[in-house]
């Protein structure tokens, strides 16, 4: 049950914090799996697969886990699971089921680490008992001493007492956030991987404990400004973010923005809109700008924002046209122009207005693709075909776009029932733009009779370029003699391992001969134990082919003589 090794240390710490805070809910523990919800700024679903008590697979719906990472939510659920197992192992004492907090406090060492949620509650009760038992003057003097020495706690305490954050409070939070960044950046002005977790943890603490309290107390705009300061800072610090902390914190802030929009009054909502639109000026790093774009375009649905959003998009198009980089300029112009066109379309703008905008930005491939898709949906196929031919010429330097255009032409000809033109596009695709593509190949084959196809197939094979993966087509057509020739001619093991199952029954000697040649080449090079273990795995694979055991036995005997001075190799061979 040593699952902790599956996580980076800082992820484990964050997961433990979530677990201690009771964030794991609705946990269902089965023999082969665990399911639970982890609640926070946003709720995430976690599923963990087990085999004999060992973790075999994990899933979480959070963005960090979507990148293939093991996240803090998974760790939190596993801590909860471990605690449940420990609780089950403890003998029941029915006489003490209703033990009160005082008894819990008595049984808990103040300085003992809390391992389970039960321990955490006991420790909290013990601390509470100590504080309530102290004289008021002692508590007050201690609190004054602690707050005088700790600016962060002083600011948090003032926020708790005043319940309404002032402009001065917000500025103090700005200063605190900047001080945290300066401290971690240091002289090198860089936050390394090992510091990144602690840096983000301090910023997350401000959001969880200070910003959260502001929102709950109704200081919505103050909370908005504090989290915005953190959001802008995220993209402006030079940091090793391979742990994914930036995206996790940015997502947390985004969810709080959405929450605020449901709570603020009309005047404060206008202030939020102004901040979002004015910060699409490069002050926020590009990949974080996507959060702002999303909230501008998907929220603020009230009628009074309609013209403001259109003006904003016009401004973004104008800015995009001034970019220096050709690719970046084309991408941004296309993105914002298409967004603008779709918004106008939703508002039932006149056709001539949409046509005029498309005409103005016609050289942009994104705008032409919008035009193609729009009139394709209207089934104005002749107009679309004309634009597709023009686009193939304009974008001929971009292979992927040309492929997209030809595929669209093929689809239109199919819908029109123009079989000859449809087949012509299929040939163009399978020989040029998507050479050897199996799906296109099958689609082309379906257009001919069995007799016709035998002729057309050979014609196609002769015209295919060398990089067309003709082996896939041989397999599809069950031309196993040609597939075997391809495999034997290929270098390395990839082809023989790919087609071993379809060839070994009919051609066992040839497949074994190919394997024999390749493993002997591999054995001639010295390597580490893994290299020799891989060789033995290949020999085992050969033994499963008819006649393979005798050949493997011969190979092993030869190697034991030829490579007798390689102890690791001899040890691995003994396991065969």
Query: Can you spell out the DSSP letters for 476-510?
Result: HTT-HHHHHHHHHHSSSSHHHHHHHHHHTTT-HHH
DSSP 91: P
Residue 96 confidence (pLDDT) above 70: no
**How far apart (Å, rounded) are the C-alpha atoms in residues 165 and 327?**
45
In degrees and rounded to multiples of 5, residue 206 shows phi and psi of -65, -40
- What is the model's pLDDT at position 114? 58
- What is the model's pLDDT at position 97? 44
Is residue 195 within 8 Å of residue 214, measured between CB atoms? no
Q: Look at residue 168 and give its three-state secondary structure.
A: helix
Query: How many residues are listed for the chain in this entry?
Result: 576
Q: How confident is the model at residue 165 (pLDDT cuts 50, 70, 90)?
A: confident
What stretches of 30-187 show up as alpha helix (H) in DSSP? 63-66, 72-89, 101-107, 117-133, 136-149, 151-162, 167-185
Which region holds residue 189: left if phi is over 0, alpha if psi is between -120 and 50, else beta? left
Q: Which of 91, 83, 108 is nearest to 19 (CA)?
A: 83
- What is the model's pLDDT at position 151? 87
What tokens were used for 424? 């012509």
| Beta-bridge mates of residue 191 | 239
In degrees and rounded to multiples of 5, residue 254 shows phi and psi of -60, -45
**How far apart (Å, rounded) are the C-alpha atoms in residues 63 and 44?**
10
Residue 164 CB: number of other CB atoms within 10 A? Answer: 11
Q: Look at residue 367 and give its three-state secondary structure.
A: helix
Using a 10 angstrom Cβ sphere, with 0-12 exposed, 13-18 middle and 19 or more buried, the burial of residue 323 is middle
- What is the model's pLDDT at position 102? 53
**How far apart (Å, rounded) are the C-alpha atoms in residues 291 and 252?**
11
**How far apart (Å, rounded) are the C-alpha atoms in residues 364 and 432?**
25
Query: Can you spell out the DSSP letters for 290-310?
Result: HHHHHHHHHS--SGGGHHHHH
Q: Which of 392, 415, 417 is nearest to 405 (CA)?
A: 392
Mean pLDDT rounded to a whole number for the chain: 90
- What is the model's pLDDT at position 41? 66
Contacts 24+ apart (CB under 8 A), 204-211: 204/249, 204/252, 206/173, 206/176, 206/177, 206/230, 207/41, 207/249, 207/252, 207/253, 207/256, 209/156, 210/155, 210/156, 210/159, 210/173, 211/256
pLDDT in tens, 280-322: 988 888 889 999 999 999 999 999 999 999 999 999 999 999 9
Q: How confident is the model at residue 25 (pLDDT cuts 50, 70, 90)?
A: very high
What tokens were used for 182? 């300066």
Is residue 576 within 8 Å of residue 556, measured between CB atoms? yes
Q: How open is the CA angle 443-446-450, to the nearest 5 degrees?
A: 145
Mean of the pLDDT values across residues 79-91?
73
Query: Can you spell out the DSSP letters for 394-429?
Result: HTTT-HHHHHHHHHHHHHHHHHHT-HHHHHHHHHHI
In degrees and rounded to multiples of 5, residue 537 shows phi and psi of -60, -40
- What is the model's pLDDT at position 86? 67
Residue 91 confidence (pLDDT) above 80: no
Residue 303 CB: number of other CB atoms within 10 A? Answer: 6
pLDDT in tens, 333-358: 999 999 999 999 999 999 999 999 99
Q: What is the dihedral of CA 497, 503, 507, 511, to 10 degrees?
A: 0
Mean of the pLDDT values across residues 537-558?
95
Q: What is the dihedral of CA 23, 28, 29, 34, to 10 degrees?
A: -70
- What is the model's pLDDT at position 126? 85
In degrees and rounded to multiples of 5, residue 299 shows phi and psi of -105, -165
Q: How confident is the model at residue 88 (pLDDT cuts 50, 70, 90)?
A: low
pLDDT in tens, 430-443: 999 999 999 999 99
Helix 365-377, helix 381-394: angle, nearest 10:
160
Q: Average the pLDDT over each of 44-58, 90-104, 396-410, 477-491 and give the range with the smallest value.
A: 90-104
pLDDT in tens, 385-422: 999 999 999 999 999 999 999 999 999 999 999 999 99
Residue 98 confidence (pLDDT) above 50: no
- What is the model's pLDDT at position 431? 96
- What is the model's pLDDT at position 94? 45
Q: What is the dihedral of CA 108, 114, 117, 122, to 10 degrees?
A: 20
Residue 77 CB: number of other CB atoms within 10 A? Answer: 28
- What is the model's pLDDT at position 125? 85
- What is the model's pLDDT at position 472? 95
- Tell me the HSE value of 24 on the side-chain side, using a 13 A CA sphere: 31
CA distances from residue 522 to 232, 489, 565 in whole angstroms, order as listed: 54, 17, 16
Residue 424's Cα: distance from chain center in Å?
Answer: 40
pLDDT in tens, 248-282: 899 999 999 999 999 999 999 999 999 999 999 88
More confident residue, 244 or 135: 135
Q: Look at residue 350 and give its three-state secondary structure.
A: coil
| Beta-bridge mates of residue 49 | 33, 57
**How far apart (Å, rounded) are the C-alpha atoms in residues 26 and 187?**
47
- What is the model's pLDDT at position 315? 95
What tokens were used for 347? 């508002």
Contacts 24+ apart (CB under 8 A), 482-486: 484/510
Q: How confident is the model at residue 548 (pLDDT cuts 50, 70, 90)?
A: very high
**How far apart (Å, rounded) are the C-alpha atoms in residues 1 and 17?**
20
Is residue 83 within 8 Å of residue 97, measured between CB atoms? no
- What is the model's pLDDT at position 247? 87
pLDDT in tens, 508-539: 999 999 999 999 999 999 999 899 999 999 99
């Amino acid at each position: 049950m040593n699952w902790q090794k599956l996580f980076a240390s800082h992820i484990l710490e964050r997961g433990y914090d979530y677990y201690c805070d009771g964030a794991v809910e609705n946990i269902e523990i089965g023999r082969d799996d665990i399911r639970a919800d982890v609640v926070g700024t946003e709720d995430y679903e976690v599923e963990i697969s087990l085999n004999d008590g060992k973790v075999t697979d994990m899933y979480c719906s959070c963005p960090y886990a979507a990148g293939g990472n093991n996240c803090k939510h998974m760790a939190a659920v596993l801590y909860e699971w471990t605690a449940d197992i420990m609780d089950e192992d403890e003998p029941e004492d029915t006489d003490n089921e209703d033990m009160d907090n005082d008894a819990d406090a008595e049984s808990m060492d103040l300085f003992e680490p809390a391992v389970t949620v039960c321990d955490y509650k006991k420790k909290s009760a013990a601390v509470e008992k100590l504080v309530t038992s102290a004289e008021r003057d002692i508590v007050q003097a201690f609190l004054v001493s602690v707050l005088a020495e700790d600016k962060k706690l002083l600011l948090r305490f003032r926020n708790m007492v005043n319940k309404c954050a002032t402009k001065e409070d917000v500025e103090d939070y700005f200063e605190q956030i900047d001080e945290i960044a300066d401290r971690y950046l240091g002289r090198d002005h860089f936050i390394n991987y090992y510091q990144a977790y602690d840096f983000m943890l301090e910023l997350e603490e401000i959001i969880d404990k200070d910003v959260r309290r502001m929102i709950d107390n109704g200081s919505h705009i103050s909370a908005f400004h504090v989290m915005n300061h953190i959001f802008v800072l995220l993209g402006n610090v030079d940091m090793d973010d391979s742990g994914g902390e930036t995206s996790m914190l940015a997502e947390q802030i985004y969810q709080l923005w959405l929450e605020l929009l449901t709570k603020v009054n009309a005047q404060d909502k206008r202030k939020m809109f102004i901040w979002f639109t004015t910060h699409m000026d490069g002050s926020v790093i590009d990949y974080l700008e996507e959060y702002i774009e999303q909230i501008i375009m998907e929220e603020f649905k009230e009628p009074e924002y309609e013209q403001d959003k259109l003006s904003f998009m016009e401004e973004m198009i104008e800015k995009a046209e001034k970019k220096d980089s050709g690719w970046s300029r084309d991408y941004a112009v296309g993105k914002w122009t298409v967004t603008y066109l779709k918004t106008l379309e939703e508002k039932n703008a006149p056709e001539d207005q949409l046509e005029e905008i498309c005409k103005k930005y016609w050289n942009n491939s994104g705008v032409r693709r919008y035009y193609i898709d729009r009139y394709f949906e209207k089934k104005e196929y002749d107009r679309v075909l004309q634009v597709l031919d023009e686009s193939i010429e304009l974008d001929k330097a971009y292979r992927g776009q040309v492929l997209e255009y030809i595929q669209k032409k093929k689809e239109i000809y199919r819908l029109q029932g123009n079989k000859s033109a449809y087949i012509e596009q299929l040939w163009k695709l399978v020989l040029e733009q998507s050479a050897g593509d199996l799906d296109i190949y099958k689609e082309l084959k379906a257009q001919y009779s069995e007799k016709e196809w035998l002729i057309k197939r050979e014609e196609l094979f002769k015209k295919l370029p060398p990089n067309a993966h003709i082996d896939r087509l041989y397999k599809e057509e069950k031309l196993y003699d040609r597939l075997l020739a391809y495999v034997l001619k290929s270098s390395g093991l990839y082809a023989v391992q790919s087609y071993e199952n379809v060839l070994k029954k009919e051609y066992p000697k040839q497949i074994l001969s190919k394997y024999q040649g390749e493993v002997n080449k591999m054995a001639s090079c010295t390597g580490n134990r893994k290299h020799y273990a891989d060789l033995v795995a290949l020999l085992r694979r050969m033994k499963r082919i008819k006649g393979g055991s005798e050949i493997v036995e011969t190979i092993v005997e030869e190697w034991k003589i030829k490579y007798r001075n390689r102890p690791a190799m001899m040890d691995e061979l003994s396991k065969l």
